[in-house]
Amino acid sequence: METSSPVNNLSHMAEYFNVDREAIFEEIVERGRAQGVTTQETYNDLVEEVIESHRAVGEIHDDSPTEDMEEQLRGRWTDYKESLGLDDAQPQL
């Protein structure tokens, strides 16, 4: 019977926790500005895209759970809008 080793699990967690969530948010803001992302739906898609790009280059291990990070970043929609200067008076870039 094969079981996962606690050391293995810790190394996966370490790889996940080494990712700087604030840096990822800043990357989302930069990409969103460049791509003209102004709706929450496209913002949520961008969050997923950026996380997957970090996974593709090995900054986030394939086995690392990213749901919490994705949920936290999706919850920053208001911060994102403020970073771009978007509000009800100016909903577009």
pTM of the shown model: 0.73
* Higher-confidence position of 12 and 47: 47
pLDDT at 11: 41
Give the amino acid at 92. Q
Q: What pLDDT digit, counting tens, does each position of 21-34 carry? A: 999 999 999 999 99
CB-neighbour burial class of residue 71 (10 A; exposed 0-12, middle 13-18, buried 19+): exposed
Q: How far apart are CA 80 and CA 76, in angstroms?
A: 6
Quickly state the pLDDT bin for 14 (edges 50, 70, 90): very low
Residue % of the chain over a pLDDT of 70: 74
